[in-house]
Amino acid sequence: MTDSELDQTDDAIHEDRLWRDDGWTARVIKNEDDDGWAVEMIRDGEAEPALVGPWTMGRDKKNPKPLDAGAFRTLVKTASEVRRRHEQQRHAMLHKNVTVSVQGDDVTVTLDIVPDEDDPYADLKAFDAFGAQLAQARVSAGFKLTKASAEAWAANEFQKPG
């Protein structure tokens, strides 16, 4: 094995208070709220921890319990689930849809918010029952998509809402 191959495979760290492996870093830190310890889980490439939680004291009741493979696997699983739920919640906030009846046909109206820092906006779209796009309008990011607002848009022949 060459030195460069060793460098690529040797980036894992398995220490009592720092464990890095499989794209995650677990770090045992002093708990700022009390005299105990906490553990933070950070996904590689991200600035903020995905999870921060209490960590168990060791047998001396003074120092933290050392990290180990089993604890690390559990922390990775928990942090991954927290990230997944956060992503689902964010998706639900940014993407909404309702189905309304327009002249006896089902029309699905979607609202996709684009959270641009300088100019946030949303795309409002209407689709027929077969998925063909009927209309599209750019609206403010604060536009509220409800059954009533979708019906009003359709009744106005999909003209851009005011």
Residue 33: pLDDT band (50, 70, 90) is confident
50-101 pLDDT, tens digit per residue, is: 999 999 998 888 899 999 999 999 999 999 999 999 999 999 989 999 999 9
Give 107's strand partners: 100
> Contact 153/124 with Cβ under 8 angstroms?
yes
The whole-angstrom separation of Cα 41 and Cα 56 is: 15
| 97 phi and psi angles, rounded to 5 deg | -155, 150
Burial class (CB in 10 A: 0-12, 13-18, 19+), 26: buried
Residue-range domain boundaries for the chain? 3-67, 95-155
Structure-token match 């499989």, residue found: 22
| 36 phi and psi angles, rounded to 5 deg | -85, -160
Q: What is the mean pLDDT of residues 31-59?
A: 91
pLDDT the model gives residue 10: 56
Reported in sequence order, the residue ranges of 2-147 that DSSP labels E, i.e. its strands, are 13-14, 18-21, 24-30, 37-43, 51-55, 95-102, 105-114, 121-127, 133-140
Alpha-carbon distances of 69 from 14, 18, 52, 98, rounded to whole Å: 8, 12, 18, 46
Return the DSSP state at 156. T
100-154 pLDDT, tens digit per residue, is: 999 999 999 999 999 888 999 999 999 999 999 999 999 999 999 999 999 999 9
pLDDT the model gives residue 79: 96
For residue 48, give both structure tokens: 């903020």
- Statement: residue 156 has pLDDT above 70: yes
